[in-house]
Chain A
């Protein structure tokens, strides 16, 4: 028997699932006493290079309320050609194509190896991939130029059959007709007036073919051609068009922000896809250089003298536009997600751009939110390029218009999900009445998926205390993910997992041993962030303090996911966005950054995220997920300044300097979005990023008492981990009452 850590790793590797508990308490009462609910982090598209897609369709349980997929946990009567659903116990006939089934001739889905299996749906047309660029033109020429180049580059990364479209906006919104000879055409819309899909359809002249569609029922391609065309056809044309793209020509007077019709532009993008490619995978990629300043969705007026809202304003309820704008983007997000369209936001500006208001656009649709200072940074360029990363088969590592459905055994129900998804409001026998996150449903729409997209799913044990589960009983959960593969195929991935039940009174040790501390931490953190997003801040901290207890929560309390101090509303939204979609490893890094130390004293080693780790003769490499920071200690910095690294006799110093840089590069190359890369030294202004993360074990308050032999004091009033832990212990003991 493997140890639990091995078991957990194995399960994660195979199914992309990590449960908070790997042995489940068998009754509701016991489960609630566990504080941390039975929950799972599920990565639907967990990369499985060893998983060949199966070229037929899954066999479903015939019970209408169940429809679970045949899986290795099902009992099969090979002679009678029957199988019993392990969720509802319905006995089902195998379909005729399974006539040859026998114990030695089992279909793949019955092999325990394939607890996760992927089917390719053969029916239906090949869906095109649709990429709609929505480009802000209110930016500095330098930025715009960089953006244009990135966009042009991206065209070469798209498969030739992918459809692309272009919407540009500034004061007006322009929908470009592609592939026009001799003249470039665009449809222009006022940036202050929202249009519903029908109006838009009329104004873009997309109405007529609907009659034809009624007749033939065939593709939209024919009429959408004007605005969304295959890359291969309009490659040159679009490249030229992008090349000719000018900064928004409307004059911006002194003391004003440019008028940016972001809200309408996005609305038009959503509307355009809505009426041309409903329920087809599509990405709306929005590139913005500043906040929306007019029309629906505006987040700040055009007067420069009134700054964009801060947390302070939000707390004071002093935000003129926030509620309305949020509502606008929320409705857009809902429209997009119900049609399976992804909205990405690439916001590059020094100031805030309104991500707070727009966050649902990405969060509901599984889109990317990328925040950078300028389009002319490698942060943006690399990140954007990485969106189009391909797997070994040469397909994009992205999937579209997915739905995730959950089937559970009778003893357990699903309470909700937290992640980049929206509810499909599918009621069913496995839906719990207790909602956690997006609940009340057993199906969620995840418009955009990539291999690291991870949802947190929360379950509720509903088995009553007085109805014990027989020894050896297992609870099963099936995850059914239907999605559009980037090759255009419709695919279904089915993951079926099962865990043992245990009576908490008799087998408490085994339950305790099965606790997955990391998963639980992230699951609770997601919950906390979810609550922080939806409720008032301080309450969440109190709730968290009441609920949880461990080192980890110390950092979570201080993290930007919960703390808004020192972060703009946009930054908070940005951090939370990524926290809510990344997988466990990444999420852990986000909460508790990793700190490596490089010195002459030995090989690089991970060190405590503590101020005591900051030593003069060390180089530190900190990875906070969003930032990769190299910090040269005081002495090292002086050496470097003196130029020792350039002297042949100090080559080892050169290597020392190089080592963290190489490691950082490695991280930079794999991570999405690309982190901000910071190279700083003792006393450097950017060292603040490090200082704000480490545990302030030495502060100006206690440094003299602790002596100065090691570490660097942090000037903060925050409590240190030591204080926090002391306090917690006291609480833990006293609150027993």
Chain B
């Protein structure tokens, strides 16, 4: 497997046999007996047909799997073979253990379990995580039921069972007696760990060099805090029907153990722990290769020479020294750059450095910009470039003496010498045609065909624009915005408006020549809103009336974008188009589309065509847009298939966003849309950008993912880049990296500000290098990793069958973990699943990723939705992908209305829901308020002012404003979230067991997918099996 093969590479050879079984089961192939627990008939488990495949290769390895799957047997039986159907609520938790509630409760019980239980537990299996390496904790999930191996017992005592470790193991050979385990007690034990995350000094780990005083220390300097280990233990489950294909004695049918879901790593805990540990703290970027807090953690950054993690996050902060190592571990080396990330108010905005006419100081050879990594020598007369090692003369105007440390005397006065991120004012050399740019323009292009008029959308937009345009983003310190605005309406033809301030009334100019679009006017089309306010008001008032009785239902699309490009070209500025389109463009014009949606292609090799844009017009259009700095934001209001794959092609290459409001109705979606529009218009943004990522010798940026356009292999062109755009950059080795000098990267972004100034934004980051893989695993960043995987997988599905892509994802996951196990973990039984601490929740994300609409081959998903999600993820930053792949599920029924603290989310699993609960779920794209069927009437009364749940009408999209603490609190939580997220979300209220609950359920990512895809637990088991196979 070549390094680049995260997704594209051929599957690992040794995993091959397993894969067959996997892909089938995973990909919801009903015929796969081994893993087909949700699709397949239950018999599959009793009969060991697939076991043959497995056992012949690695009989031991196949062991755990059945255990994993068998836990679900009850489930399967209940559900029959309909993966989509829901189990009856009471049954929900049944598969996991007897009385679900007691189980849950017991988790919370802090007391150490009785020894006896302990031993039992030991004997049965599992658990242990141990900080052998200070940064790693190991999870040993024992799937088997086999009797406890003696060695494990050494770490068994509860006292030892500090959260850091709960080795959980069971050799496959172990006898079946161990099976009848008291699950409660098990859980209790594990909970003991969980409940007290830092119960005291951890026991010396077997590995020896364990971080002492982890729990109490809380030293900010250690990003690899082990504190997040929850000491989760898998609770063994009894009553498992003996369904172990290929298993020997287990078949005999002794009671099964079931893993306690609480014992497997939990994202919510990880997040919470990191928040506890690093939340509210200052993260100072003065140390090379230092792993930042999680994206979810609330922290403050002080820039001391490295870019803030808000701007750049890496998959690992310690690169392997050699390409071989990198290849061996298969951990992708990538950085997710969000060059325009917005900074919290308490962090200093970037300094702007102005070197006047000479422009920024750059290395003569590699053209890297002056930065903290330039080493001044020769008394300050020369400097050595940290990237290419070239020795350059210091320009005369820039000369400064060095102090006794060899540092320039003006070190602290020059941001480019002391900071990780800063901006240069660009000189004319950096401008198009060597002319200073004009301020950018926003053009609002409103589809006024029948649908949009009828739905009232046109009026809504026009009314909103009147106030919204007052709030155009403006340069720091400016009175008014420099951004010009322009207006176009269109159906089959385009109407441009002259809104010059001197006019008494606006002028409309119709262009019907859609075959060769052009801009009919120059002066008066793009105007300053403040100056032309009266005319614009007049226009916005008239537009809805002018088309009130339109019967035109056909629209064009490509000419609309073309018009924008032409307008920007003519005005010699860059800018953004806001296109409000109702339907697929079917009018006779370039870019005309036809319905090519074909559900029959799903799950075939041709499925990729559903994601591929139509070639031709739009391809060229993207190119034109980027060349003229024209960003396209598309607001779609479709009532049927619109070929988003094609329509969103231009936005997705120009740093634009696509918003989709299916079956738009003003009452339910109006506010949602307006929130999006407001956010979108007011976003901080840069235009006509070109980005270059330079690296020190030994490695280089090889691949880029994002809302970008690439003409060559190095220059990342973006028509616009806003605060939410993230570009993922993959790195490859060229040569050996040195541990001593580490690895440097410099991201330089040349762009035009909203005020029309040309600037260079520089982000620098230094990483460690190590020849020890353990270092790499220690400094991994799961959130970044999953961002990379999501993007690369989403790109890969354009060219490969989904099946292959999913396979590759799993294989790589297994490979990464296996490599860790092999190289970094202390020897332990093969049945132990050992995860590096920094990656312990990686499988959850990976599993969730594979269940996302684009990667699930299901005919029930709309092709447009899948394409839409695929494209929107491509431009996401780490925060967004994290949230998308692991939604926040916040219980509201028991929040403390007086507390300032945000409510604590719970794990995204059905079993966390209670009939009497009320939960809020959001993933950055959707938001649900879930009402348990037995929720207390008091709560309902306080929230909805309704006597009971039954009175609740459908289609509610906001909570009524009621004057009681709960209502206030809940509304403030919701509005806080809407505020925080880059997209506004539509609040959907679903009642338990109502039909719309389906929509809600698909976001419970730890459960098995509605449209296929494994539950977290199953996935973990499967991965474990794969790992074991790899290890043998």
A interface vs B, CB < 8 Å? Answer: 172, 174, 177, 180, 182-190, 193, 195, 202-205, 244, 246, 249-251
Instruction: Decide if B957 is an interface residue (CB 8 Å cutoff).
Output: no
Q: How far is the CA of A177 from the CA of B508 in the complex (A)?
A: 10
Stretch among B116-124, B514-522, B691-699 lining the A interface? B514-522
Q: Contact check, A251 vs B496: say whether CB atoms are below 8 A apart.
A: no
- Specify which chain A residues have a CB less than 8 angstroms from the CB of B513 in the assembled complex: 189-190, 193, 195, 203
CB < 8 Å: which of B503, B510, B516, B518 contacts A187? B510
Q: How far is the CA of A59 from the CA of B521 in the complex (A)?
A: 58
- Specify which chain A residues have a CB less than 8 angstroms from the CB of B493 in the assembled complex: 203, 205
Instruction: Decide if B546 is an interface residue (CB 8 Å cutoff).
Output: yes
Q: Contact check, A251 vs B511: say whether CB atoms are below 8 A apart.
A: no
Q: Which residue of B lies closest to A191 (CB)?
A: B518
- Specify which chain B residues have a CB less than 8 angstroms from the CB of A189 in the assembled complex: 511, 513
Q: Contact check, B503 vs A204: say whether CB atoms are below 8 A apart.
A: no
- Specify which chain A residues have a CB less than 8 angstroms from the CB of B538 in the assembled complex: 182-183
CB < 8 Å: which of B508, B520, B521 contacts A183? B508
Q: How far is the CA of A186 from the CA of B512 in the complex (A)?
A: 11
Q: Contact check, B506 vs A183: say whether CB atoms are below 8 A apart.
A: yes
- Specify which chain B residues have a CB less than 8 angstroms from the CB of A190 in the assembled complex: 513, 516, 518
Measured between C-beta atoms, what is the minimum distance from A183 to chain B in Å?
A: 5
Q: Contact check, B524 vs A188: say whether CB atoms are below 8 A apart.
A: no
Apart from A184-B507, A203-B512: 20 A-B pairs, beta carbons within 8 A:
A174-B509, A182-B538, A183-B538, A183-B539, A183-B542, A184-B505, A184-B506, A185-B509, A185-B510, A188-B496, A188-B521, A189-B511, A190-B518, A193-B513, A202-B512, A205-B512, A244-B504, A249-B521, A250-B522, A251-B522
Q: Contact check, B511 vs A187: say whether CB atoms are below 8 A apart.
A: yes
- Specify which chain A residues have a CB less than 8 angstroms from the CB of B506 in the assembled complex: 183-184
Instruction: Decide if B298 is an interface residue (CB 8 Å cutoff).
Output: no
CB < 8 Å: which of A186, A193, A203, A250 contacts B507? A186
- Specify which chain B residues have a CB less than 8 angstroms from the CB of A195 in the assembled complex: 513
- Specify which chain B residues have a CB less than 8 angstroms from the CB of A188 in the assembled complex: 496, 509-511, 520-521
- Specify which chain B residues have a CB less than 8 angstroms from the CB of A185 in the assembled complex: 495, 507-510
Instruction: Decide if B403 is an interface residue (CB 8 Å cutoff).
Output: no
CB < 8 Å: which of B508, B523, B546 contacts A184? B508
Measured between C-beta atoms, what is the minimum distance from B822 to chain A in Å?
A: 68
Q: Which residue of B lies closest to A240 (CB)?
A: B504
CB < 8 Å: which of A172, A177, A244 contacts B503? A244
CB < 8 Å: which of B505, B510, B523 contacts A182? B505
Measured between C-beta atoms, what is the minimum distance from A620 to chain B in Å?
A: 51
Q: Contact check, A182 vs B542: say whether CB atoms are below 8 A apart.
A: yes
Q: Which residue of A lies closest to B545 (CB)?
A: A182
- Specify which chain A residues have a CB less than 8 angstroms from the CB of B511 in the assembled complex: 187-189
Q: How far is the CA of A246 from the CA of B507 in the complex (A)?
A: 12
Measured between C-beta atoms, what is the minimum distance from A681 to chain B in Å?
A: 47
Q: How far is the CA of A182 from the CA of B542 in the complex (A)?
A: 8
- Specify which chain A residues have a CB less than 8 angstroms from the CB of B512 in the assembled complex: 187, 202-205
Measured between C-beta atoms, what is the minimum distance from A379 to chain B in Å?
A: 32
Measured between C-beta atoms, what is the minimum distance from B148 to chain A in Å?
A: 83
Q: How far is the CA of A250 from the CA of B539 in the complex (A)?
A: 23
Q: Which of B757-777 contact A (CB under 8 A)?
A: none
Q: How far is the CA of A185 from the CA of B511 in the complex (A)?
A: 11
Contact A186/B522 with A193-B513, A203-B493 known, Cβ cut-off 8 Å = no
- Specify which chain B residues have a CB less than 8 angstroms from the CB of A182 in the assembled complex: 505, 538, 542
Measured between C-beta atoms, what is the minimum distance from A199 to chain B in Å?
A: 8
Q: Contact check, B508 vs A193: say whether CB atoms are below 8 A apart.
A: no
Q: How far is the CA of A246 from the CA of B502 in the complex (A)?
A: 11
Q: Mark B132-152, 1 if CB is under 8 A from A, else 0.
A: 000000000000000000000
Measured between C-beta atoms, what is the minimum distance from B780 to chain A in Å?
A: 57
- Specify which chain B residues have a CB less than 8 angstroms from the CB of A184 in the assembled complex: 505-508
Q: Contact check, B524 vs A249: say whether CB atoms are below 8 A apart.
A: yes
Q: How far is the CA of A183 from the CA of B499 in the complex (A)?
A: 10
Q: Contact check, A186 vs B524: say whether CB atoms are below 8 A apart.
A: no
Q: Which residue of B lies closest to A251 (CB)?
A: B522
Contact A183/B507 with A249-B522, A249-B524, A251-B522 known, Cβ cut-off 8 Å = yes
Q: How far is the CA of A362 from the CA of B570 in the complex (A)?
A: 36
- Specify which chain A residues have a CB less than 8 angstroms from the CB of B524 in the assembled complex: 249
Measured between C-beta atoms, what is the minimum distance from A166 to chain B in Å?
A: 13
- Specify which chain A residues have a CB less than 8 angstroms from the CB of B510 in the assembled complex: 177, 185-188
Q: How far is the CA of A184 from the CA of B504 in the complex (A)?
A: 10
- Specify which chain B residues have a CB less than 8 angstroms from the CB of A172 in the assembled complex: 518, 520-521
Measured between C-beta atoms, what is the minimum distance from A699 to chain B in Å?
A: 57
| Residue of A182, A188, A189, A202 most packed against chain B (CB within 10 A) | A188
- Specify which chain A residues have a CB less than 8 angstroms from the CB of B505 in the assembled complex: 182-184
Q: Which residue of B lies closest to A195 (CB)?
A: B513
Measured between C-beta atoms, what is the minimum distance from B452 to chain A in Å?
A: 19
Q: Which residue of A lies closest to B517 (CB)?
A: A190
Measured between C-beta atoms, what is the minimum distance from B800 to chain A in Å?
A: 44
Q: Which of B465-516 contact A (CB under 8 A)?
A: 493, 495-496, 503-513, 516
Q: Which residue of A lies closest to B551 (CB)?
A: A208
Q: Contact check, A249 vs B523: say whether CB atoms are below 8 A apart.
A: yes
Measured between C-beta atoms, what is the minimum distance from B423 to chain A in Å?
A: 32
Q: How far is the CA of A334 from the CA of B1008 in the complex (A)?
A: 76
Q: How far is the CA of A183 from the CA of B507 in the complex (A)?
A: 5
- Specify which chain A residues have a CB less than 8 angstroms from the CB of B521 in the assembled complex: 172, 188, 249
Measured between C-beta atoms, what is the minimum distance from B545 to chain A in Å?
A: 8
Q: How far is the CA of A205 from the CA of B521 in the complex (A)?
A: 21
Q: Which residue of B lies closest to A244 (CB)?
A: B503
- Specify which chain B residues have a CB less than 8 angstroms from the CB of A244 in the assembled complex: 503-504
CB < 8 Å: which of B508, B523, B542, B546 contacts A186? B508
Measured between C-beta atoms, what is the minimum distance from A178 to chain B in Å?
A: 13
Measured between C-beta atoms, what is the minimum distance from A25 to chain B in Å?
A: 61
Q: How far is the CA of A334 from the CA of B539 in the complex (A)?
A: 42
Q: How far is the CA of A195 from the CA of B516 in the complex (A)?
A: 12
Q: Mark B533-559, 1 if CB is under 8 A from A, else 0.
A: 000001100100010000000000000
Q: Which residue of A lies closest to B492 (CB)?
A: A205
Q: How far is the CA of A186 from the CA of B498 in the complex (A)?
A: 11
- Specify which chain A residues have a CB less than 8 angstroms from the CB of B507 in the assembled complex: 183-186
Measured between C-beta atoms, what is the minimum distance from A722 to chain B in Å?
A: 63
Q: Contact check, B509 vs A193: say whether CB atoms are below 8 A apart.
A: no
Q: Which residue of A lies closest to B498 (CB)?
A: A184
Q: Which residue of A lies closest to B552 (CB)?
A: A205
Q: Which residue of B lies closest to A203 (CB)?
A: B512
Q: Which residue of A lies closest to B509 (CB)?
A: A188
- Specify which chain A residues have a CB less than 8 angstroms from the CB of B520 in the assembled complex: 172, 174, 188
Q: How far is the CA of A322 from the CA of B508 in the complex (A)?
A: 35
Q: Which residue of A lies closest to B539 (CB)?
A: A183
Q: Which residue of A lies closest to B523 (CB)?
A: A249
Q: Contact check, A186 vs B539: say whether CB atoms are below 8 A apart.
A: no
- Specify which chain A residues have a CB less than 8 angstroms from the CB of B522 in the assembled complex: 249-251
Measured between C-beta atoms, what is the minimum distance from B536 to chain A in Å?
A: 12
Measured between C-beta atoms, what is the minimum distance from B107 to chain A in Å?
A: 68
Q: How far is the CA of A560 from the CA of B229 in the complex (A)?
A: 104
- Specify which chain A residues have a CB less than 8 angstroms from the CB of B496 in the assembled complex: 188
Q: Which of B578-612 contact A (CB under 8 A)?
A: none
| Residue of B506, B509, B542 most packed against chain A (CB within 10 A) | B509
Q: Contact check, A193 vs B539: say whether CB atoms are below 8 A apart.
A: no
Measured between C-beta atoms, what is the minimum distance from A173 to chain B in Å?
A: 9
The 4 A-B pairs of least Cβ separation, nearest first, read A188-B520, A203-B512, A249-B523, A185-B508
Q: Which residue of B lies closest to A187 (CB)?
A: B510
Q: How far is the CA of A39 from the CA of B102 in the complex (A)?
A: 122
Q: How far is the CA of A246 from the CA of B511 in the complex (A)?
A: 19
Show 20 A/B contacts (Cβ-Cβ < 8 Å), sorted by A.
A172-B520, A182-B538, A183-B507, A183-B539, A183-B542, A185-B508, A185-B509, A185-B510, A186-B507, A186-B509, A187-B511, A187-B512, A188-B521, A189-B513, A190-B513, A193-B516, A205-B512, A244-B504, A249-B521, A249-B523
Contact A183/B546 with A190-B513, A193-B516 known, Cβ cut-off 8 Å = yes
- Specify which chain B residues have a CB less than 8 angstroms from the CB of A251 in the assembled complex: 522
Q: Which of B969-991 contact A (CB under 8 A)?
A: none
Measured between C-beta atoms, what is the minimum distance from B1020 to chain A in Å?
A: 63
